[in-house]
Amino acid sequence: MDTLNDLNERVDAFVGTSSFDTPAAANDQAPIDVPAEVHEDIVASVDFSEVELADEFTEPQVAVTPNGLLPMEPLHIDGRLRKAALRMPDEIEEASGFTLFGRRIKSLIYTTDVAVIRNSNADAVFAVYPFTPQPAITQALLTVAECPVFVGVGGGTTTGKRSVQMAAVSEMQGAAGCVVNSPATAEMVEHITNIADIPVIATVVRCDDDAHAKVRAGAKILNIAAGKNTPQVLRELREHYPNLPLIAPGGKTPESIRETIAAGANAIIWTPPSAQQLQTDMMQRYRKMKEDATPVISHDDIPIIDQVAAAEVSHVENMNPDVPIPDEVIERVASIHDHIEERRANRGLKPSLHGFFFRGKKR
């Protein structure tokens, strides 16, 4: 900010180089000096919020390099075939996030499908499933994940010593945190925190004495699973714990995600569409492309899947018995096989078994 003296100097310089039609100037009279004393400690500032900047000041920033000017914002890098097909909703970026081992986490993908995990851009994996925890499942998830994985260690069916042991084994396998279900007691949370050196994520369904007891027992993160009452429970817990990381499902729409963030959630748990639903959508596009006689399949021709809308559909009820091989490929291979068999028959050779699969699939 400029001091008042600096501003006065600028004004004097401007007045000295400008001409004004004043009565004194019209009568060729000298201007009247008016003394004014202003303390030097006064600091003046200018508000530029209402100022419209020229286009050259709003262009993207660039850096000067030996190879020329390059944009300051890093470019997105994808492979020739592999891309992050399942991208988190943009609204999740509005969350504040929390820091775990120096890594900022705003989005958690709620799935145990290794294919979905591998093809998403989530900050972390929320790997909780409705079965008793098993180290083999945890190891499989950690093998494919490229981000921190929070694994479930029980709390409902699996309790007590078994859950504590699962938390210790999960830490040794490389899990970033362990999740306990809502029936887990505060004593169980305390035992896990004493054994494992990874944060405990305690699931709560309301802001009550049980939730407070789990925080006192050592839970570092609270997972709010209160259904339609999640925003209300978030607000109540945020009043008690201003700095405690809170995570919660954000729902199926951008509006519900924003509401969850506004209620106090630091990170959002997002449920992606299943691989079966994505496969069904892809086969529907392939069939439509065949009907339209589309000659070439390119990445630009494939429409973007509405992931939030797809997640609303029941994955099991809408599964079609699709074979992930286009019909034209099956027909082409079958015709080639028939031609080869005809040539073998003309030469007096026995029929071969090659192409048995495609021959059975021929329509």
Element (H, E) at 102: none
Taking only the tens place, the pLDDT of each residue in 327-358 is 565 666 677 767 777 877 887 777 665 544 44
Element (H, E) at 255: helix 254-263
Residue 294: inside a domain, yes or no? no
Q: How many residues does the chain have?
A: 363
Closest CA to 282 of 311, 260, 304: 304
Helix, strand, or coil (residue 270): strand
What pLDDT score was predicted for residue 356? Answer: 46
Question: Are both 96 and 231 inside the same structural domain?
Answer: yes
Q: What is the CATH number of the domain that holds 166?
A: 3.20.20.60
From the CB of residue 95, how many other CB atoms can be counted at a distance below 10 Å? 21
Residue 289: inside a domain, yes or no? no
Question: Are both 108 and 187 inside the same structural domain?
Answer: yes
Residue 44 scores a pLDDT above 90: no
Question: Are both 187 and 241 inside the same structural domain?
Answer: yes
Taking only the tens place, the pLDDT of each residue in 244-276 is 999 999 998 999 999 999 999 999 999 998 888
**Whole-number Å distance between alpha carbons of 23 and 30:** 10
Structural domains counted in the chain: 3
As a whole number, mean pLDDT of residues 138-165 equals 91
Q: Which two tokens stand for residue 203?
A: 């699931």
Q: Which two tokens stand for residue 126?
A: 């929320």
What pLDDT score was predicted for residue 12? Answer: 63
pTM of the model: 0.62
CB 274 within 8 A of CB 113: yes
CB 293 within 8 A of CB 324: no
Residue 129: inside a domain, yes or no? yes
Residue 202: inside a domain, yes or no? yes
DSSP state letter for 92: G
DSSP string covering 29-82: PPPPP------TT-B-----TTPPPPHHHHSPPEEEETTEEEESSPPP---SS-
Question: Are both 101 and 59 inside the same structural domain?
Answer: no
Helix, strand, or coil (residue 109): strand
Question: Are both 130 and 260 inside the same structural domain?
Answer: yes
Question: Are both 100 and 49 inside the same structural domain?
Answer: no
Taking only the tens place, the pLDDT of each residue in 136-148 is 999 999 999 999 9
The torsion angle over the Cα atoms of residues 221, 226, 229 and 233, rounded to 10 degrees, is -30
Reported as a pLDDT band with limits 50, 70 and 90, residue 160 is confident
Considering only 70-79, 110-119, 122-131, 243-252, which range has the smallest mean pLDDT?
A: 70-79
More confident residue, 43 or 248: 248
Residue 345: inside a domain, yes or no? yes
Taking only the tens place, the pLDDT of each residue in 220-235 is 999 999 999 999 999 9
The domain of 160 spans: 90-270
Residue 304 scores a pLDDT above 70: no
Residues of the chain with pLDDT > 70, as a percent, come to 66
DSSP state letter for 91: G
What pLDDT score was predicted for residue 50? Answer: 62
What pLDDT score was predicted for residue 139? Answer: 96
CB 163 within 8 A of CB 146: no
